[in-house]
Amino acid sequence: MKPAPFAWERPASLPALLDRLAEAGGSVKLIAGGQSLGPMLNLRLVEPGLVLDITGVPELREARVEDGTLVLGACVTHADIEDGRVPDTTGGALQRVASAIAYRPVRNRGTVGGSLAHADPAADWVSALTALDAEVEIAGRGRRRRMAVAAFVTGALETALRPGEMLVALRIPPMPTGAAWGYVKHCAKIGEFAHAIAAVRLEPEAGRGRVVIGAVEGPPVLVADARPLFGGRIGPDCAGRFLLSVAHTILREAGLTDPVVRHVHVTVLARAIAQAVPLPAPRVVPEAA
Partner 1 sequence: MSAGLAQTPTGRMALPLTVNGRAVHVEAEPRQHLGDVLRDTLTLTGTHLGCEHGVCGACTILLDSEPARACLTFAGACAGASVTTIEGLDSDAITGELRAAFNREHALQCGYCTPGMLVAARDLVLRIPEADERRVRIGLSGNLCRCTGYAGIVRAVLSVIAERRARGLGPELQTDRPLGPVGARCGQGSAVALHPQVAVAAVAAPTGTPDLAGPFEPANRFEQVVALSFPPQAVFGLLADIEAIAACLPGAVLTARPADDTVEGGLQVRIGPIAATFRGRAIIARDEAAMSGHVRGVGRDAGGRSSTEGEIRYRVVPGGTPDTARLILDVGYTLTGPLAQFGRPGLVRDLAGRIAGQFGENLDARLAGRSAPAPAPLNPLRLLLGLVRARVAAWLGRS
Q: Between 133 and 165, name the residue whose CB sits nearer to partner 1.
A: 165
Cα–Cα distance, 91 to 95 (Å, whole number): 9
Q: Which of residues 217-236 bind partner 1 (CB under 8 A)?
A: 217-218
Residue 137: CB minimum distance to partner 1, A: 16
Q: Does 243 bind partner 1 (CB under 8 A)?
A: no
Q: Between 34 and 209, name the residue whose CB sits nearer to partner 1.
A: 34
Q: Which of residues 95-154 bind partner 1 (CB under 8 A)?
A: 102-106, 108-111, 118-119, 121-122
The residue range among 45-53, 123-131, 170-178, 268-276 that interacts with partner 1, by the rule CB under 8 A, is 45-53
Q: Which of residues 150-209 bind partner 1 (CB under 8 A)?
A: 155-158, 189-191, 193
Answer for which of 75, 139, 202, 250 binds partner 1 (CB under 8 A) is: 75
Task: Give me the helices (H) in 14-141, please.
Answer: 14-23, 37-42, 78-82, 93-99, 104-107, 112-118, 124-131
The one-letter amino acid code at 140 reads G
Of 235, 231, 246, 194, the closest CA to residue 216 belongs to 194
Exposure b/e, 236-268, CB count within 10 A at least 16 = b: eebbeebeeebbbebbeebebeeeeebebbbbb
Do β-strands 50-53 and 28-31 pair in parallel, antiparallel, or remain unpaired? parallel
Residue 212: CB minimum distance to partner 1, A: 16
Q: Does 53 bind partner 1 (CB under 8 A)?
A: yes
Q: Does 16 bind partner 1 (CB under 8 A)?
A: yes
Please give the size of the binding site for partner 1, defined by CB under 8 A.
79
| Residue 186 · residue 194 · CB < 8 Å | yes
